[in-house]
Amino acid sequence: MTATHPPFWYERSPVPTPLSIAVHLGWLNGEPSADGVAIRSLRTRQPSGNPTQQLEYMLANTFRQGSSAPALWARARGADTRVIGLTWTDEAQQILALPQSGIRAIGDLRGRRIAVPRCDDIEIDMFRATTLRGVLNALSLEGLADQDVTLVEVERDLRRLYLAEAHALLAGQVDAIYVRGSAGLEIALMLNALVVADIGFHPDPAIRNNNGTPRPLTVSGATLREFPDIVSGFLQLVVDAGHWAASHPLETISYIANETGSAPQLVRAAYGPQLHRKLRVDLAPESLAALGSFNDFLLARGFLDNSVDIGEWVDHAPLRQLHAQPGLHSA
C-alpha cells in the first residue's frame, strides 16, 4: 500500500543558491516522484500572492534557502525550523558616492551622510539590517563607527531596490549609499558612481559576513522529525545541484542571471569568476560562526527580540548522512 504524504513546499530568494539551480534544472518541478512525493514551489500555493518571507518559516513541511535575517527572526519568534545546510556565495558589497563628492576612500566618510533604507511594512527590515551591517563593516576597516558618520533614513519601496537611495544621493540628501549584488551594480552604473569601497571580496570573512553570507537552507522541524527520508532526498538534490554548477560555469551564469533578473555580465561582476564553484552546501565552522555573528548583530541593533542558539538551531545529521553514503562526489 502506497504511503500517504502531506504536501511539501520549497521557496528561495532570487539570489544565487544551489536550490535555485536545482529548480532551473527541472529537478524540483512539482511532479510526484516514484513513491508519490511531490515538492512544489510555494509560489503556486496562493494565487493571490506569495506569503511574506517571515510567514514562510511558520508554514509546515516547507524548505527554504535565502537570506539569514528572516530565518533568524522567525526562529527567534519560535518558528519550528532547523538549518540543514549553509551556502556562502560572496557578492559585491559597495559603498558608492558621486565623483564630485570628494569621497575617495573609507576614511573620507568621516562626518558624511550615509543612506540607510527603512521599510516599515515588513516585520524584519532585512534591507535596513543588511545596509547597516555592510556600512559598519566597511567603516571598521578605518577604525570608524556609526557615531563618526550621519546615518540618514530613506523610505524604500520594496519593489524598487536601491532607487530610493539613488534618488537621495542625486538630490544631495546623502553623500554615500550602500548596494550589493547584481542589482547594486546596476545602480552604480546608472549613477556613474565612484566605488569608495567594495568589501564583498575582502580577505577577512568577518568583513564579508552579512545577510547573504552565508545563506541558510532550512526545513520545518516537524518535517525533519516525521519525514527524514524526504529531507534527505531534498537535501541530496540541492547538494547535487551545487556539484553540477561547479562543472557548468556558463549554464550556471545563465540560470543565476534568470534568477536575479540581471544581465550575465553583471552576474559575473557581482558574484565573481568562481561563482559556479561557490554554490556548495556545507556546515563549515567558519559559516556557522558567521551566522552566529550576524545573529549577535541583529540582536544588538534591535532587529531581534531574542537571541538564536545557533547550536540548537542547526542539525548536522542530514548532511552528515549524505556524506556517509558511498559514491557521493564533492565539488
Quick: pLDDT tens for 184-213. Answer: 999 999 999 999 999 999 999 999 999 999
In angstroms and rounded to an integer, the radius of gyration of the C-alpha atoms of the chain is 20
- Which CATH architecture group holds 93-208? 3-Layer(aba) Sandwich (3.40)
- The crossing angle, in degrees rounded to 10, of helices 285-300 and 126-140 is 110
At 178 the pLDDT is 98
195/138 Cα distance (integer angstroms): 12
Question: How big, in percent rounded to 5, are the helix, strand and coil portions of the chain?
Answer: 45, 15, 40
| Residue 48 pLDDT exceeds 50 | no
Per-residue pLDDT tens digits for 4-25: 678 899 999 999 999 999 999 9
- Mean pLDDT of the chain, nearest integer: 91
Confidence of residue 90 (pLDDT cuts 50, 70, 90): very high
Domain boundaries, the chain: 8-89+212-324, 93-208
Query: Regarding the domain delimited by 8-89+212-324, which CATH topology (the fold level of the hierarchy) does it fall under?
Result: D-Maltodextrin-Binding Protein; domain 2 (3.40.190)
- Which of the pair, 248 or 43, is modelled with greater confidence? 248
- C-alpha 137/C-alpha 141 separation (Å) is 7
pLDDT above 90 covers what percent of the chain? 81
- The two domains 8-89+212-324 and 93-208 share their CATH topology (first three levels equal): yes
Query: Tell me, what's the pLDDT at 59?
Result: 75
Asked whether residue 83 carries a pLDDT value surpassing 50, the answer given is: yes
Tens of pLDDT, residue by residue over 274-309, are: 999 999 999 999 999 999 999 999 999 999 999 999
Closest to 296 (Cα-Cα) out of 114, 129, 118, 123: 129
Mean pLDDT of 114-123: 90
Assess whether pLDDT exceeds 80 at residue 53: no
